[in-house]
Amino acid sequence: MTSTLTPVRSKRSALTKGQLPKYAPYAVLAAALIIGAAILALVGFNPFGWGVVSAILFAVGLVSWSAAVEGSRKAKDKLATCLVVGSFLVALLPLVSVIWTVLVNGIPGLLDPGFLTTSMNGVTGAFDNKAVESGGPVMGGIYHALLGTVQITLLATVISVPVGLLTAIYLVEYGNDGRLAKAITFFVDVMTGIPSIVAGLFAAAFFFAVVGPGTKTGAVAAVALSVLMIPVVVRSSEEMLKIVPNELREAAYALGVRKWRTILKVVIPTAISGIASGVTLAIARVIGETAPILVTAGFATSINSNVFGGWMASLPTFIYTQILNPTSPSNPDPSSQRAWGAALVLIILVMVLNLVARLIARIFAPKTGR
């Protein structure tokens, strides 16, 4: 029995010879965390410093162990892996920090009664002073700003998506790298870098000249946002249309299908997933803009459901005014609480838009099953 098992054991040891054990990363990580905590305890402990020191110790320890056991080639590979993973975590830190900060500061405002269902109409500094003195709930909400954000963004999307998609279709299917197509591509690239305040000033000046001085409505703000959205929709849709295989178009042409119908029934459904993602990115690009809204729609404290008449508030302008001009200058905490709550709602809106885009892409994507 012993003689038959001996070759198997020697074979296994030969296969695992010169390799780190599977528990090596976990052991090095545990040691790095302990040593990092001990070092930070001497100079002043803080979570961020602990993470940085532990990451450095982990990389040094794992690479050194690998060099001693596996050789320089495997050690270089592990060093590259540590650098890539470390870079990813560093890039992830701001996102996690922002989300955590908004959650911690925004949830108390979101839990206030009437925060989502009332406006700031009639809310004065006396209400905030009373809330601070008595410890009661903060009065006033974001309903008017939430309604304005949805209406302005929806109208901007209605304007931008058809224009951007049709432009992308022309560039890919009809442009043939002609002079007009090259000119359109150039101006789209220029528009991509236009500052948001310039788009707001353009829309305001245009409506001042057409309608009259002092024209500030949600529709003007929607036009300003569409100037920012159209380049994003064009570029994203153009790239998605380009990756549609030409074989699909040629197969449709071979069956006698006209070009416009091929685009409508074959090309666009094939690229709808990427197009929906591009539209979502465009919406997320403009839904948090503040400067063009202030220039074109002004700011209101009451509910305005008419996007074509009167000043209209939005979530970004609500946050801006609550921080810059608190309702009660002597007690700014309630205004700050409202601003953080509005910021949390804005992030939730962007997340919902991403989920809707994924759902639309899944519903309208071409079916691959038989």
Distance between CA atoms of residues 275 and 232, nearest Å: 11
Q: What is the pLDDT of residue 367?
A: 63
pLDDT(370) > 80: no
Q: What is the pLDDT of residue 365?
A: 64
pLDDT(291) > 50: yes
Q: What is the pLDDT of residue 13?
A: 54
Residue 88: both structure tokens together: 């990813």
pLDDT band at 130 (very low <50, low <70, confident <90, very high): confident
Q: What is the pLDDT of residue 183?
A: 92
* Burial of 357 (C-beta count, 10 Å sphere; 0-12/13-18/19+): buried
Distance between CA atoms of residues 130 and 122, nearest Å: 15
Distance between CA atoms of residues 338 and 323, nearest Å: 9
Q: What is the pLDDT of residue 152?
A: 93
* Cα-Cα end-to-end distance for the chain: 55
Q: What is the pLDDT of residue 273?
A: 81
Residues 6+ away with beta carbon under 8 Å from 131: 137, 138, 139, 334
Q: pLDDT averaged over the chain?
A: 85
Q: What is the pLDDT of residue 345?
A: 92
Residue pLDDT, tens place only, 42-70: 888 788 788 888 888 888 888 898 888 88
Q: What is the pLDDT of residue 225?
A: 93
Q: What's the count of helices (H) and strands (E) in the chain, helices before strands?
A: 15, 0
Residue pLDDT, tens place only, 225-263: 999 999 999 999 999 999 888 898 889 889 888 988 999
Q: What is the pLDDT of residue 156?
A: 94
pLDDT(1) > 50: no
Q: What is the pLDDT of residue 285?
A: 82
Residue with more model confidence, 115 or 15:
115
pLDDT(7) > 70: no
Distance between CA atoms of residues 342 and 316, nearest Å: 8
For the chain, the 3-state helix, strand and coil shares in percent, each to the nearest 5, are 75, 0, 25
* Burial of 204 (C-beta count, 10 Å sphere; 0-12/13-18/19+): buried
Measured from the Cβ of residue 235, the count of other Cβ atoms closer than 10 Å reads 22
pLDDT band at 37 (very low <50, low <70, confident <90, very high): confident
For 294-304, b/e burial (b = at least 16 CB within 10 A) is bbbbbbbbebb
The crossing angle, in degrees rounded to 10, of helices 333-364 and 315-324 is: 160
Per cent of the chain over pLDDT 90 is 23
Between 104-113, 136-145, 352-361, the lowest mean confidence (pLDDT) is in 352-361
Q: Can you spell out the DSSP letters for 261-303?
A: HHIIIIIHHHHHHHHHHHHHHHHHHHTT--HHHHHHT---SS-
Q: pTM for this one? A: 0.79
pLDDT band at 17 (very low <50, low <70, confident <90, very high): low
Q: What is the pLDDT of residue 10?
A: 47
Q: What is the pLDDT of residue 2?
A: 47
Q: What is the pLDDT of residue 366?
A: 61
Residue pLDDT, tens place only, 187-230: 998 888 888 899 999 999 999 888 888 788 989 999 999 999 99
Q: What is the pLDDT of residue 222?
A: 93
Q: What is the pLDDT of residue 12?
A: 45
Residue pLDDT, tens place only, 142-181: 999 999 999 999 999 999 999 999 999 999 999 888 899 8
Residue in the structure block whose two tokens are 């309630």: 334
